Amino acid sequence: MKGETILSSRDLTKCVEFHGHMCPGLAIGFRAARTLMDRLSVRRSPDEELLAIVETDACGADAIQVMTGCTFGKGNFIFKNYGKHAFSLADRKRGKAIRVSLRPDAVKMDPISLSLSEKVQKDEASAEELARFRRFQKERTQKILEADAESIFKIEDISPNIPPKAMIMESETCDFCGEPTKKDLLRKINGKKACVPCAEENGPSVGLASSPCP
């Protein structure tokens, strides 16, 4: 599909509505989701048939949620804070999973654009520079949308280490703050039930090294 057609596609519009703006990061997530779903031959998952793993909390993660239907609240959207533009999708039923990761040279910025981007981030760009930056971002976005999937992503089959479906677990009341808390997340402090923050506040402090680790 050509960039223009993709830009006006309903799927992409939905991603932009959810995320708030169009940007290169969202385009990466959108292309990643499409690539993963095409390769797995799956459709958007209304329930928990699919499982998505994102290795970044940047813009692209939003497109993965919209496109795959895997969401944080359903428990089939897993965030690993690795700071990589890498995304995996698993099909629980067939036990198949694929991971795509952005190639190092896929969206690299030249030094001039990089310093322009830094200026914009620090709110130091002039109106003219800001306009130039916006044009540049639009071009990058377009390039990502039009590129061959293989040219921007490393695509690999991975062994699907699929965690079980989210379980609805009973709550019990924390003896310290009185708030209902998922049972398996309660700790025992002096024979009392404590939620995580109350355990941290009231529990014995763990023997931390007094000097910083080398």
Binding site for Zn ion (CB under 5 A): 23, 25, 59, 174, 176-177, 195, 198
**Residue with smaller CB distance to Zn ion, 160 or 203:** 203
**Residue with smaller CB distance to Zn ion, 133 or 176:** 176
Q: Minimum CB separation from Zn ion for residue 203, in Å?
A: 11
Considering only CA atoms, give the Rg of the chain.
22
CB 156 within 8 A of CB 99: yes
Helices and strands, number each (H, E), in the chain: 8, 9
Q: Minimum CB separation from Zn ion for residue 186, in Å?
A: 9
Q: Minimum CB separation from Zn ion for residue 23, in Å?
A: 3
**Residue with smaller CB distance to Zn ion, 47 or 170:** 170
**Residue with smaller CB distance to Zn ion, 28 or 40:** 28
Q: Minimum CB separation from Zn ion for residue 124, in Å?
A: 20
CB 63 within 8 A of CB 33: yes
Q: How far apart are CA 119 and CA 63, in angstroms?
A: 27
Helix ranges restricted to H, 111-173: 111-121, 127-146, 149-152
DSSP 211: S
Q: Order the strands of the 153-158 sheet from edge to edge.
A: 77-79, 50-54, 86-91, 96-102, 153-158
Q: Minimum CB separation from Zn ion for residue 178, in Å?
A: 7
- Please give the structure tokens belonging to residue 185: 């997340």
**Residue with smaller CB distance to Zn ion, 75 or 203:** 203
